[in-house]
Each structure stands twice: as C-alpha cells, then as structure tokens.
Amino acid sequence: MLRGSKGANADREYTEDRISVLPINVLDYVVELLPIEDAARTSILSKKWRYIWAMSPNLVLDNLFCNKLAKESCSFFYNTVDNILLQHIGDIVKFDLDVSGLGLPWYTDIDRWMHYVTRHGVKKLNLNVPKNSTYKVPSYIFNCSTLTDLTLSNCVFKSPTSFLGFQNLITLCLKSMTFVPTAEFCVIKVPLLVDLILDCCQGTRYLNIVSPQLESLVVFRSDCLELNCFRNCKKLKRIIFSGTNKVVDVYPKYLESSTLEKFLFSLPTLAILHLESHFLKLLAADNISKELPFALDCLWHLSLHVDFGKLDQTSYALQLIKISPNLTQLRIWVFNTSDNAEAVSEYLDSPACLEQPLNKLRHVTLHLFKGSKTELALVKKLVAHTPSLVRMSIKPNKVMDSWKERNIAIELMRFSRASPRAELLYLPNVV
C-alpha cells in the first residue's frame, strides 16, 4: 500500500488519508451535499465514515431515485425506503419524497413513512404523489408540530375536526391539492406562517387560512380563493395572483371585483403586486375612468397583464401606477386585441391620462411587445413623465420583420425623455 513515488499527479498518492483529516463538521456537510446514493456509499469508505450519512439530517428521495428503485420492483422500492429510514440515526430535519412517477398502490407505505419522519422531528417535508391520486394527507402530518416548511403535491387535504393547525409552520406550498372541508370551511391555523403558495389547487374556496404574520401570498391557477380570510394579514407585502393565459370568465362567479379591489387596497404594507391574466379585467370591469380613492404607499414593484385593446383595462392600469408614489419597478405584459385601439390611443395621448411625473420609477419592462400604436403611445407617455428613469426595456414577443423594427426604432428615438440618462433598450432575443 505504501507507494512512495511522488508522481506528477499528487492526488494519486496512497500514503495518507487526506480527506478524513478534515473536521467532522466539514465531512458532515460534504455528505449532506451528495445525492442520496453517493452519500450512502460513503458509509463503506472507512470506520470514520461509517455513520456520517446515517446521521445526516437531510434525506432527499427525488423523482429519479424513486423511479430507478421502482424499476427493479415495487417491493424493492418499499424495502429500500424502509431500510433507509430504519438505519437513520437521530432526527430527520428535511425529508423529500417524490413518488409522482410511480403507478401502483402504496398508500399504507407512504403513511408509514410519514409516521416515521414526523416522529423524528421533521421540520421540512416535501411530499409529491402521482397526479390524480386520491392519497389523503395522513393524520401524522396534521399532528406534526415540528414542521416549519411543508410542501405537498397532488394529495387530498381533509383535515380532521380536531386539527389545531401547524403551530410552527413558516412556509406552506400546496400544489395540485384538493381541499375537502369537514365543516363549512377547511380551517388551517398557521400563526407563524410567512409564505403561502397555492398552485393549481381545487376547492380553495373552502379554505380559511388564519395567518396573521403572512407576508407573501402566491396563487397560481387555483379556483376561487376566499380572500376574506386574509383580511387580517396586516404584514402582507407580496401578492402574486396568476391565472391561466386565456382570459376565462371563471373567477367572476366567485370573486367579485369589489372584493378583490377592497382586499388589495386594505393592505397597508403591500410592496409587490403581480396580477396576471384576467385579474385586471376583473378589477377594471366596474370601473370606467373612475379615480381610485386609495394610495398604495408602500408599493415599489407592479407587474400587470394588460389588454391594450380595452380602454377600461388600460385606464385602470394607469390608475394603479398613479396611486403608487413609491413605485420603482414596473413590468407590463402586453395583450393586445384591436377592439378599441383608437379610443385607447386617444386616451393615452391625452394629457389627463398622466399629468404628474412618476418620480421614483426607475425600471420599466414591456413584455410581448407587438409594436402597436397603443403600446408606442404608452411608452411615449411613460418616458416623458419619469424623471428618474434608468432603463426602459422593450421585449418583443416574436421576431418582427426588419422594416417594422426600423420604424419602431425611429419612433422610439423621437420620444422626449424626462430623464436624460434613461436607457431605452429594445431586446429582441431576450426572454
């Protein structure tokens, strides 16, 4: 074993154990950074390494890993996961299990594993089961008081009547979940919750989430949300509401425009607002050219999907911009129909549309730019009223012919700028 030769490649020496002299906290961390198979393999390196992985606080059984095991056979998969959990020493801080690629019945096994990890102090749990499964979130998860981060995908959420909530939960992410209420509502008490994400969930109208510390609310493509439960979230800073790309009239049945408006304007600390697809349509519906009697004093970032063929949407968008004195970043996705382009262009060109300068606005981005008259009118208006503008980025949605691009460039060059150092960037190849 002693090969004394000091060859050109020093790494090839056998003489000393060079990695194991590292302090145990470093070795622990290195093993934590390895994917599960590599991490498990380190147990056989030497006696010093024998239990490093067994004591590692994180167990990530991702999609690739689970599918690979299940390919052998289902029982091989179950036995291996049982084995991994049983040989683990100490608390499990993070447990990720992605069985979404597996097809066969396994509910009792998953329950058993959830029972195990929740009894071993799990704080960060991520469970992903196959789509369209009817796997019910087990009582072990509802009763787990150590959870700080919980992500669940594709399960059925039916909380027991005795459900006290998650006392320590800080982040909750629910994807493609189905909520089934036991009483009138599905009440989830989460006194420390800061971040909530609802992605593609069904039955969200039954949700009553009690989260007084909530700072960020993100809702993707979920059916109606009962916004009243968030009225007491006085710390809410970030709201992202995203629907489908098509402007579908699904929401108005459950969600009144005035409710949404009242909700948005009742949040004293709202700093980031991102409204996609039909939300602006909803807000604008009852609201032709009415002045908004509120101010969004803390808002510094606004993202909107706007249909520039519709006068009500365009005017509402401008209203939102005008009532946000501290707005520094603005992003607009252009959805364009030719419905009422003349009226919209007229509106945008009129001085009444925007009289006061937008003093704090520094960055503006226009996505899916099509080069229409209304869009150019908007750019002209914004550029003329933004004395602090640093950059206006215009991103076309697809390649335009060079003639059209040239004309657009000529137009843009003519606009007078309130901010002499503003950059006007046309970015055809950047998403």
Partner 1 sequence: MASSSKTEQKKMLILKSSEEEEFEIEESIAVQSGTIKNMVEDDFTLIPLPNVDTETLIKIIKYMKKHGEKTKSNEKDIEEFDKEFVKKSFTELKELVLAANYLHITSLIDLLCQAFADRIKNKSVKAIREIFGIPNDFTPEEEAEVYEQHKWAHEEGKEHIDHSAY
Q: Are 171 and 149 in contact (CB under 8 A)?
A: yes
Q: Looking at 6, 7, 26, 409, which residue binds partner 1 (CB under 8 A)?
A: 26
Q: Are 347 and 316 in contact (CB under 8 A)?
A: no
Q: Which is nearer to partner 1, 42 or 100 (CB)?
A: 42
Q: Which residue has the tokens 């055809």?
A: 428
Count of residues that interact with partner 1, criterion CB under 8 A: 41
110 contacts: CB under 8 Å, gap ≥ 6:
97, 99, 127, 129, 135, 138
Per the DSSP assignment, residues forming a β-bridge with 198 are: 174, 219
Q: Is 295 in the site for partner 1 (CB under 8 A)?
A: no
Q: Is 41 in the site for partner 1 (CB under 8 A)?
A: yes
In a 13 Å sphere around the CA of 423, the CA atoms on its Cβ side amount to 9
Q: Which is nearer to partner 1, 9 or 132 (CB)?
A: 9
Q: Looking at 6, 8, 34, 321, which residue binds partner 1 (CB under 8 A)?
A: 34
Q: Is 47 in the site for partner 1 (CB under 8 A)?
A: yes
Q: Are 374 and 348 in contact (CB under 8 A)?
A: yes
- Cβ neighbours, 10 Å, residue 351: 7
Q: Which residue has the tokens 């509402």?
A: 316
Q: Is 23 in the site for partner 1 (CB under 8 A)?
A: yes
Q: How far is the CB of 21 from partner 1 (least distance, A)?
A: 7
Nearest to 296 by CA among 275, 271, 279: 271
Q: Is 6 in the site for partner 1 (CB under 8 A)?
A: no
Q: Which stretch binds partner 1 (CB under 8 A): 33-41, 290-298, 327-335, 368-376?
A: 33-41
Q: Is 331 in the site for partner 1 (CB under 8 A)?
A: no
* CA dihedral sign, ordered 74, 79, 84, 90: positive
Q: How far is the CB of 91 from partner 1 (least distance, A)?
A: 20
Beta strands in 192-350 (DSSP E): 195-199, 207-210, 216-220, 238-242, 272-275, 301-307, 329-335
Q: Looking at 59, 66, 69, 302, which residue binds partner 1 (CB under 8 A)?
A: 69
Q: Is 24 in the site for partner 1 (CB under 8 A)?
A: no
Could you give the string, one character per residue 233-252, with x where binding to partner 1 holds by CB under 8 A and - elsewhere? --------------------
Angle in degrees, CA 394, 398, 400, rounded to 5: 85
Interior/surface letters 299-330, b for 16+ CB within 10 angstroms, e for the rest: bbbbbbbbbbbbbbbbbbbbbbbbbbeebbbb
Q: Which stretch binds partner 1 (CB under 8 A): 6-14, 111-119, 264-272, 275-283?
A: 6-14
Q: Is 420 in the site for partner 1 (CB under 8 A)?
A: no
Strand 58-61, strand 94-98: pairing: parallel
Could you give the string, one character per residue 79-108, with x where binding to partner 1 holds by CB under 8 A and - elsewhere? -x--x---x---------------------
**Cα–Cα distance for residue pair 83/18, rounded to 1 Å:** 31
Q: Looking at 22, 183, 248, 295, which residue binds partner 1 (CB under 8 A)?
A: 22
Q: Is 12 in the site for partner 1 (CB under 8 A)?
A: yes
Q: Looking at 63, 71, 76, 219, which residue binds partner 1 (CB under 8 A)?
A: 76
Q: Which stretch binds partner 1 (CB under 8 A): 25-33, 251-259, 304-312, 407-415?
A: 25-33
Q: Is 431 in the site for partner 1 (CB under 8 A)?
A: no
In the complex, which residues of this chain contact partner 1 (CB under 8 A)? 1, 10-23, 25-26, 29-31, 33-38, 40-47, 49-50, 69, 76, 80, 83, 87
